[in-house]
Amino acid sequence: MHIIRLITLLLLLSSLSLHAVDYSKKSEVKHFIHTMHKKFNYKEHYLNTLFKNVRKNPKVTQTRTRVKKIETEIKEEKKKISRPQGEWDIYSRMHLEHNQTEMGVNFMYKYRKVFEKAYEDYGVPPEYITAIIGIESYYGKNRGVYYVFDSLTHLAFDGGKRQKFYKHELQEFLRLCYREQLEPRAIKGSQSGAIGMAQFMPSNYKSLAVDFNKDGKIRLSKPADAIGSIANYFKENGWKRDEPVGTRVSYEGNRFYGFKTGYSYKYHRRDLKNIRPREYFPYKKKIMLIKLKKENYDELWYGAHNFYVITRYNHSAYYAMAVHQLAQKIKKSYLSKYITPKEKKLYLVSK
């Protein structure tokens, strides 16, 4: 096994020698290698070989990303018609259009048995896991167009922001590759090092990723492991089974300034005068006020505890709202397309 991995590494390196940078001579990298050897018993020769041939450009060549495609489509649409340009208008177009709902319904149906088990084990409804996978990797079609080892090396040792953070992620990435017997130079992900359908950062693997299909390996490129790992991520961050995420509310006027908004501020509903849910919302705990800035008005929502849990995946209220709205669209379409009246009593209709 070790001989095969070494041959694979040498083949990769030989094809990259003209487009590589020797990082092994940097003092910070030497210290990093020494630390990996002392703390985790990594072979210094192996690490030196890796860092001698870091790709100058970690982006995978000849790859057209989904984001670039969507940006082009949006530009073409703007030429044809005028569309609202508020912050939320733009953000929601990026994450809630372009067949996200239909593809999500098909994905959820295809892996419905896995989702049922994830709900049973962790209490997270399938539509929210599906929405995360849709937004993070377009249901597995775009898992990232950067070589993770090279990208993390640049971020950790090129003098940019958050070097300490990226050194830790590089450390955990190498440990992940050792545990799972993966070739570090071959793994692709996001520019910041997120990997797989769930786009986990390397530091999240050991504590939050799970071998949900019980094949002895954790592969977030596999739907079952991605689904189980996202469910576990939510549960470990406090997801409450069968509790709601949020609901839209009404208020007076077009722009909202009455209370501080965002997931850092919580209120008793009785204290929010003239703010009322647009539909029945049987949630008695404190809530957050989430403001979505549209071109001509502010859209206001109650956010429950589970809304906050979604922000632990990505610390953006807009991200959490995109996940929630996409999840609700997927659930509505899924129920209409696949579920019988008898089956509607099951977990998929839980709020």
HSE-CB for 261 with a 13 A CA cutoff:
17
Residue (of 252, 18, 63, 226) closest to 131 by Cα position = 226
**Which member of 71, 127, 136, 343 is catalytic?**
136
Per the structure block, which two tokens stand in for 342? Answer: 């008898």
Residue (of 113, 114, 104, 89) closest to 135 by Cα position = 104
136 as an active site residue: the answer is: yes
Does residue 97 sit in helix, strand or coil? coil
**Residue bearing tokens 């490129």:** 221
Burial class (CB in 10 A: 0-12, 13-18, 19+), 199: buried
Does residue 308 sit in helix, strand or coil? helix
| Residue 275 CB neighbours (<10 A) | 19
The residues annotated as belonging to the active site are 136
